[in-house]
Amino acid sequence: MILYGLSVIIPFRKREFQEQAGSCIMCAVKKKSKMTSVEVLGLTDTLTPDNEKYAEGLKTVAKTFNEALDIFNAPDFVSKSGWKKESESPTHDTIYSKRSDTGKLFALRCEMPKDCETVFKDNWEGINELTKWNSNLAFSKVVATLSDHADVCHYGNRDLLIVKGRDFLVARMYRKIHNGYITVGRSFELADIPETKANIRGELRMGAGRFMPKDSDPNVTVIDYVLSIDLKGAIPKLIVNQFMAKIMLNDVVELRKHVATL
């Protein structure tokens, strides 16, 4: 699992997103001449014939994008009313959790000492370089570029605590909103990239990140992450919670070090 590169966030009402996009939020899936396209926040991503094998990934991440918007826009998201505090780091990065219809959600807000454009661009374009600075990852790469706003990534975690390393095949999508960005990732399966003995294939149900400049300082980026993951395998609930908190906080530590070099 990765926070940075997925997603893994100052709330806006949905009406504001609609005005930004110039149309209602929707995810319309169309097929014409064997080309799959999805529309999210007024922008359309269309697959070329060569990329049609990734159609399920594109459709699934588009649907998950709208689900992430609902979470970010919920009245309790920033206040964390109704969320459970799971863990807090010495630098006051705090992990919260909440039950949802699709599984347990984990949320984290953090600040990075760099402007939003720089932080987001590195997040989206730096997947192939992640292992150079994030020691939590065993590998990370872009498998296919689907459009200017969508791609497919494959990445894997190292073993942590008593949890064997997991790998994830994920479709990603981003949209610019107001003066920031939202990126969302969602797992899907592809025969070309099967599970291997080296890792257990996990399911990223949602990996969402919202990147916004801090109101009081535009040279600081506020990032909200929301993650929902099925690690697969018989892992006790307590261990899952500890694993999620540990890896999310570890990623933030690694990210701060990296952002300082940008």
Domain range list for the chain: 83-259
Identify which of 96, 136, 134, 106 has the alpha carbon closest to the alpha carbon of residue 205: 106
83 vs 75: CA distance, rounded Å: 12
The answer to whether the beta carbons of residues 165 and 157 sit under 8 Å apart is yes
Question: Which CATH architecture best describes the domain 83-259?
Answer: 2-Layer Sandwich (3.30)
> Which backbone phi and psi does 173 adopt, to 5 degrees?
-145, 145
Give, as one character, the DSSP assignment of residue 249.
Answer: H
Identify which of 142, 124, 135, 145 has the alpha carbon closest to the alpha carbon of residue 250: 135
Q: What is the pLDDT of residues 216-232, one digit of tens each?
A: 999 999 999 999 999 88
160 vs 157: CA distance, rounded Å: 8
DSSP 101-165: TTEEEEEEEEEESS-HHHHHHHHHH-GGGGGGT-TTEEEEEEEEEEETTEEEEEEEEPPBTTBPP
Q: Are strands 200-201 and 166-177 parallel, antiparallel or unpaired?
A: parallel
Say what the pLDDT of residue 6 is.
41
184 vs 120: CA distance, rounded Å: 13
241 vs 239: CA distance, rounded Å: 5
Q: Which residues pair with 145 in a beta bridge?
A: 151
The answer to whether the beta carbons of residues 15 and 193 sit under 8 Å apart is no
Which parts of the chain sit beneath pLDDT 70? 1-33, 161-162
Q: What is the pLDDT of residues 184-207, one digit of tens each?
A: 999 999 999 999 888 899 999 999
210 vs 43: CA distance, rounded Å: 18
Ranges assigned E (strand) in the chain: 28-32, 35-40, 43-46, 84-88, 94-100, 103-112, 137-147, 150-157, 166-177, 180-187, 200-201, 203-214, 217-230
Say what the pLDDT of residue 51 is.
97
Q: Is the pTM of this model over 0.95?
A: no
